[in-house]
Amino acid sequence: MLVNANCITGSIPGWLSTLPRLFFLQLDDNLLSGEFPKELCALPALVSPQPLDNTSLDLPIYVSVTVQQYNSLFKLGWEIFAANNTLSGSIPSEIGHLKQLQRLGLSHNNLLGKILEQMSDLINLEVLELSTNQLTGEIPASMVNLHFLRWLSVANDKLHGLIPSGTQLQSFDASHYEGNLGLCGPPLPNQCPY
């Protein structure tokens, strides 16, 4: 479901979790408010592997903005993006149930609280965008278990502490962490005082 940049207002409806084959949800650049609904953390296609049936759709599928063409549903990817809205509250702890999720984008919102340990349960996660929110606390050390993570941005939050070491988390550019005055350690130039 692709509904980017449509001036949609209100909250993200929890009933979306009743759609058994929904695995691609892009809600970027709208006027959505309220909390990220914990019901979305029960999307069947993102919780456990589901067979996808290409026969019910006419292919190719064109995704606007970058005008990309997909000849298979499988190439779209399993993702939830709701960036550039005014979502508030905390990321629900149930987020860890979305084991099939490959990309999660919640940047440029008003999300509060910590980056949850449950994020490390997203074992297929490749992209995690949490920048420009009000997130606090440390980056959980358990995030080193996200072996497929190829993009992470937590820039311009309110994080502190040492960036977990010995993993790909140091391979990201320092700009992915900038704007968090309390963060330290590679790839940032500032060393931790402890």
Q: Range of 165's domain? A: 14-184
- Give the predicted TM-score (pTM) of the model: 0.87
CATH of the domain at 97: 3.80.10.10
Average pLDDT, the chain: 88
127 falls within a domain: yes
| Pairwise CA distance, residues 99 & 119, whole Å | 10
39 falls within a domain: yes
95 falls within a domain: yes
Phi, psi of 149 (to 5 degrees): -65, 120
3 falls within a domain: no
Domain count, the chain: 1
Distances (CA, A) of 104 to 41, 58, 188, 191: 12, 27, 24, 29
Taking the chain (194 residues) in runs of 10, the rounded mean pLDDT of each run is 76 93 93 96 91 55 50 70 97 97 98 96 96 97 93 97 88 96 93 82
194 falls within a domain: no
4 falls within a domain: no
Q: Residues 100, 48: contact at Cβ < 8 Å?
A: yes
174 falls within a domain: yes
75 falls within a domain: yes
